[in-house]
Structure 1
Amino acid sequence: MTEARESAGPHARRVPGTPCWVSLMAHGLAATEEFYGELFGWEFRPGPQQLGPYVRALLDGHEVAGMGQLPPDHRLPIAWTPYLAAADVDHTADTVRECGGTVAVGPLDAAEAGRMAIAADPSGAVFGIWQGAAHLGTTLTGVPGTPAWNELITFETESVAKFYETVFGYEKEPVVSADFDYVTLHLEGRPVAGLHGVGHALRDRGPHWQTYFEVTSVEAALRQVADLGGRVLRQTHDSPHGRVATVADPEGAMFSVIENPH
């Protein structure tokens, strides 16, 4: 996890398959901006409006995430969505379909930002595909308030790993454990994302991608989430990469916060 974050930067080449952006579609954009602005110290400026009102979140002047407003009649789950880099989004979208996935939006141009599509893997987990302009995308990493990791929570990893390997060229590295179904996806020898098979523990949510954001203190972040109208879904626990907890914003969008030991 740490390697993937440290290798990114404003001049890093976006290897196809690299998580390069995270975006949240919510119903109340102004209230959502207020929540994340308070929690992570983000500021906002307008972004591409092809899919409706949209803002880019900035930290110390660097773009770190995006947020848009869903139409009132939209019934999709409110969720953070990672975007995976592509050299040719149209070709990648065709490959998604050929491998049993679906493409729900696009490919379409997003003003000067690049070209994008929103897709789902064969299990139904939604992700974005981004053919970005060279100067756009998440460039600030490894500091509080930035995306630190993206993880697919799914039923089992074996079949879905083949989909992502074929579409994006990942190499997979299983975590060897009798009771832990986990695969790390690698590009050019570095970890960029994880797949976590949890079986029937998914319940009614279904397979989904989950974004981790770095914070200075998980406990402080949990108190702030609650004060701002969010909920704690899983209390602080230790992981191989640092202390972590899972929360939801006031509209129910799930994400994790991680306190990374430096």
Structure 2
Amino acid sequence: MTTDAEKAREFYKGLFEWTFAIGGPESGHYAMANLGNDHVAGLGQIGPEMKMPPAWSVYFASDDLDDTITKVKAAGGNVMMGPMDVMEEGRMAVFTDPTGAVFGVWQPKRHTGAQRIDEPGAMTWYEVNTPDAAKARDFYCSVFDLEPHKMEGGPIEYYTLHKGAKTVGGVLQMTKEWAGVPPHWMAYFAVPNTDAAAKKLTALGGKVSVPAFDTPYGRIAVVNDPTGAVFSIVQLPAKS
């Protein structure tokens, strides 16, 4: 969601080579972002009645949104918005987890989510950054029937979340260096080259908040689009 949809579309078009299918007034001119012919993300305008900053939102899929709402409440989360039908596309609600991070849940109808992932121009990872990783871990595992795995030997407390054999996200313990940063979900987009993408997005009006650094999982930078929404870019390791 953004405070300036036109500016955001131009930025992401230049950075990721996205094209946009913009809906009519009945959808608030919500735009589907496409990579080639495939949906990879969505972009909506923040209305004057919506008290929120520009941000990327992470959505979990659900076969039964009403049941998920019950589980969220039972596990200590709160409903911020919804449930609501989005025309014939699906049904959604927005929540906060017990540590304060905002996330969405989508029960698909016609729209089933991103059609491409784990490649340049598409999302590749999602993690919640929180001051209480254990509480967040237990919440998401309870609501979505996930299995946590603690990563050993790292400098921070970190859990990966799994649905069967699939790894679906992470939980990161925020430390004192994160003072003043609220709990949040971080979306990661894959790029061919992190350093080149950082230069490109700066030229397009974005900002690098955390310069590129190397990890075992790729070279990462934390960045802002021109309207202020935070996301990460990552150059994935070469496949062996």
TM-score range, shorter chain: over 0.9
Distance 1:48 1:123 in 2: 36
Superposed, which structure 2 residues align to 1:164-243 within 5 Å? Answer: 164-177=140-153, 179-243=155-219
Q: Which amino acid aligns with 2:20?
A: F
Q: Which amino acid aligns with 1:128?
A: G
* Alignment correspondent of 2:16: 40
* Alignment correspondent of 1:152: 128
Question: Secondary structure at 1:255's aligned position in 2?
Answer: strand
Distance 1:203 1:51, change over 3 A: farther
Q: Which amino acid aligns with 2:34?
A: L
- 1:164-207 alpha-carbon deviations (Å, 9 max, x no partner): 01100010000113631000000112211000002333322210
1:115 is displaced (CA, Å) by: 0.8
Q: Return 175-184 or 215-224, whichever deviates more.
A: 175-184
Preserved CA contact (<8 Å) 1:236 1:243:
yes
Match of 1:143 among 106, 119, 134: 119
Match of 1:70 among 46, 54, 59: 46
- 1:66-97 alpha-carbon deviations (Å, 9 max, x no partner): 01001135331211111001110111012111
Identical residues among aligned pairs (%): 38
Q: Which amino acid aligns with 1:36?
A: Y
Distance 1:179 1:141 in 2: 28
Distance 1:113 1:135, change over 3 A: closer
Question: Secondary structure at 2:228's aligned position in 1?
Answer: coil
Preserved CA contact (<8 Å) 1:154 1:202:
no
Q: Which amino acid aligns with 2:76?
A: G
Aligned pairs, number: 238
Q: CA RMSD in A?
A: 1.6
For the pair 1:87 / 2:63, whether they are aligned, the reply is yes
* Alignment correspondent of 2:228: 252
User: With structure 1 as the length reference, what TM-score do the two structures score?
Assistant: 0.86
Distance 1:136 1:190 in 2: 18
Distance 1:133 1:157, change over 3 A: same
Distance 1:48 1:198, change over 3 A: farther
Distance 1:149 1:47, change over 3 A: farther
Distance 2:86 2:104 in 1: 13
Distance 1:127 1:243 in 2: 26
- 1:12-71 alpha-carbon deviations (Å, 9 max, x no partner): xxxxxxxxxxxxx11111111001111000001134866733111000110000010011
Distance 2:185 2:81 in 1: 17
- 1:87-142 alpha-carbon deviations (Å, 9 max, x no partner): 10111012111211111111111112111111110111011101112663111122
Match of 1:121 among 85, 89, 97: 97
Preserved CA contact (<8 Å) 1:48 1:110:
no
Question: Secondary structure at 1:177's aligned position in 2?
Answer: coil
1:240 is displaced (CA, Å) by: 1.4
Structure 2: gaps (5+ residues): none
